[in-house]
């Protein structure tokens, strides 16, 4: 299984060049049954990543471009009147899919945002008083454009919490970009991507990840990380219990991807910035993205060994 996953990562790596870290993180996010938020400028490969993931895993894929006039129904669907049968028929929205790419989620109104986020959390949608379960594999990749803030509704901290990870892809390296230009863009490459894992296998992997045992030493490390973020004067918002649980799950998935049956503190450290970065709020000196972003500062302060 792990070999298959390594292979899978390598295939996506061929499409999205020079970003193995992001690819691994997204895979880990998927394995931990979380959702991914990509904060990035347009044109850096968010769609490519989502598309490649969907193809490799053989997932049903939908893409929604969020706009400010969008209503919850545009995402979730609703009852539609069928003139021929003279009755209401349920129209399932784009959320009823296995992999949803929610582009520029901060462009739409909070109402629409929260409809999506609720569906992500509950993994089900209520329409007309009826509950409709979403597919068992349900993975949302949402994107945000951090620079153009005019007329947007940035997600509040409580909503950010719904995403297991927040990553940014960033510009490619010179080498990768040249190769991409030579190959004529990702779209061509996507065509040749084969399905490597079926949904059953993905579900099995997810189950294996969630069942992975974790040693008390790692648990204590996680707890100390959370405790430090709560006690330290450098943080105005510490890590919530949900946050530390998220770190644990992501670390398990990372260890799984590494082909290990147990979690090391190294796994925790690998996923920590992506998982905790958007859940921590630092004071003055710890602006996210600066040299001392809150997550790495926390990692440097807390002793790994008890």
Partner 1 sequence: MSLFAHEKVTPKAALPGLAARRWVFFSTVLCMLPQAMNMPVWMSLLAGVLLVYAGLRLNRGIAQPPRLLKVLAVLVVLVVTALSVLGKSTLLGLVMLLVMANALKLLELRTRRDVWVVVLVNCFIIAAAYLFSTSMLSGAYGVFSIVVLLASLVALHSESVTAWPVRWQPVKTAGVLLLQALPLALLMFLVFPRIGPLWSLELATPSARTGLSDSLAPGEISNLLRSDEMAFRVSFSGEPVPESMRYWRAMTFDTFDGQRWRIDGAEQSGQLSGREGNDYQVIAEPAASRWLIALTQVSSGSRGLTLFPDGTVRAPEPLQKRFTYSLALQNETPGILSPEDRQRYLQVPAGNPRARALVDQWLAQGLSQQQIVAAILQQYRQHFSYTLSPARLQGDRVDEFFFSTREGFCEHFASATGLMLRMAGIPTRLVGGYLGGEWNPYSEYLLIRQYDAHAWVEAWLDGRWQRIDPTGAVAPERVLDGVEELLQQSPGYLADQPLSMVRLEQQFALLAELRLRYQSLNYSWHRWVLGYDSRQDDLLKNWLGTLNYLKSVLLVLVPVVAVLLAIGWWLLRGRPRYRDQISLDTERLSERLSRRQPALARAAGETLQQYSCRLAEALPDHAGALGAWADAAGQVQYDVSSGANLKLYKRCLKQLNQAL
Of 105 and 205, nearer to partner 1 (C-beta) is 205
Integer Cα distance of 91 and 89 in angstroms: 6
Backbone φ and ψ for 303, nearest 5 degrees, come out as -70, 130
207: contact with partner 1 by CB under 8 A: no
CB 45, CB 23: distance < 8 Å: no
- In the complex, least distance from residue 267 CB atom to partner 1, rounded to whole angstroms: 9
Of 65 and 215, nearer to partner 1 (C-beta) is 215
248: contact with partner 1 by CB under 8 A: no
Compute CA distances 66 → 8, 26, 102, 116, 145, whole Å. 29, 21, 7, 11, 12
302: contact with partner 1 by CB under 8 A: yes
Q: Residue 159 is encoded by which pair of tokens?
A: 């909503």
Of 197 and 263, nearer to partner 1 (C-beta) is 263
Of 140 and 225, nearer to partner 1 (C-beta) is 225
- Give the residue ranges of DSSP H helices in 156-293: 157-160, 174-183, 186-191, 199-211, 216-231, 241-257, 265-276
214: contact with partner 1 by CB under 8 A: yes
- In the complex, least distance from residue 166 CB atom to partner 1, rounded to whole angstroms: 21
CB 16, CB 49: distance < 8 Å: yes
Q: Residue 195 is encoded by which pair of tokens?
A: 């399905």
Coil, strand or helix: which one is 12? helix
- Quick one: angle between helices 20-31 and 46-57, nearest 10? 50
204: contact with partner 1 by CB under 8 A: no
299: contact with partner 1 by CB under 8 A: yes
116: contact with partner 1 by CB under 8 A: no
Of 187 and 261, nearer to partner 1 (C-beta) is 261
3-state helix, strand, coil in the chain (%, to 5): 45, 15, 35
233: contact with partner 1 by CB under 8 A: no
Of 39 and 258, nearer to partner 1 (C-beta) is 258
Site for partner 1 in 263-292 (CB under 8 A): 263-266, 269, 285, 291-292
- In the complex, least distance from residue 229 CB atom to partner 1, rounded to whole angstroms: 13
What is the size of the binding site for partner 1 (CB under 8 A)? 24
- In the complex, least distance from residue 289 CB atom to partner 1, rounded to whole angstroms: 14
Of 124 and 220, nearer to partner 1 (C-beta) is 220
Question: What b/e sequence results for 277-300 when a residue is b if at least 16 CB atoms lie within 10 Å of its CB, and e otherwise?
Answer: bbbbebeeebebeeeebbbbbbbe
- In the complex, least distance from residue 261 CB atom to partner 1, rounded to whole angstroms: 5
Among 68, 126, 173, 215, interactor with partner 1 by CB under 8 A = 215
Coil, strand or helix: which one is 65? strand
- Neighbour count for residue 35 (Cβ, 10 Å): 22
Contact range with partner 1 by CB under 8 A, out of 17-25, 159-167, 241-249, 296-304? 296-304
Integer Cα distance of 226 and 244 in angstroms: 7
Among 262, 283, 287, 289, interactor with partner 1 by CB under 8 A = 262
Binding residues for partner 1, rule: CB under 8 A, are: 213-215, 217-218, 261-266, 269, 285, 291-292, 297, 299-306
């Amino acid at each position: 299984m792990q070999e298959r996953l390594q292979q899978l990562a390598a295939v996506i790596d061929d499409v999205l060049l020079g970003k193995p870290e992001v690819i691994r993180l997204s895979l880990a996010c998927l394995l931990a049954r979380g959702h991914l938020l990509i904060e990035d400028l347009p044109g850096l490969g968010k769609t490519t990543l989502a598309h490649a993931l969907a193809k490799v895993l053989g997932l049903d894929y939908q893409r929604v471009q969020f706009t400010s006039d969008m209503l919850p129904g545009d995402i979730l669907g609703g009852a539609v009147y069928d003139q021929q049968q003279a009755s209401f028929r349920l129209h399932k929205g784009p959320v009823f899919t296995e992999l949803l790419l929610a582009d520029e989620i901060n462009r739409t109104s909070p109402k629409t945002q929260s409809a999506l986020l609720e569906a992500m959390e509950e993994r089900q949608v209520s329409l007309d008083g009826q509950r409709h379960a979403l597919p068992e594999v349900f993975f949302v990749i949402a994107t945000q454009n951090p620079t153009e803030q005019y007329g947007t509704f940035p997600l509040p901290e409580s909503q950010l919490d719904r995403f297991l990870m927040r990553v940014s892809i960033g510009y490619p390296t010179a080498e990768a970009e040249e190769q991409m230009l030579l190959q004529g863009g990702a779209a061509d490459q996507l065509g040749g991507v084969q399905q490597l894992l079926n949904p059953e296998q993905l579900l099995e992997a997810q189950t294996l990840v969630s069942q992975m045992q974790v040693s008390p030493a790692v648990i204590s490390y996680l707890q100390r990380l959370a405790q430090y973020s709560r006690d330290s004067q450098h943080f105005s918002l510490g890590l919530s219990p949900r946050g530390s649980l998220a770190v644990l799950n992501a670390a398990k998935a990372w260890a799984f991807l590494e082909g290990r049956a147990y979690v090391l503190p190294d796994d925790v450290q690998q996923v920590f910035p992506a998982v905790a970065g958007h859940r921590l709020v630092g004071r003055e000196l710890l602006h996210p993205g600066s040299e001392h972003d809150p997550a790495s500062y926390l990692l440097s302060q807390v002793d790994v060994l008890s």
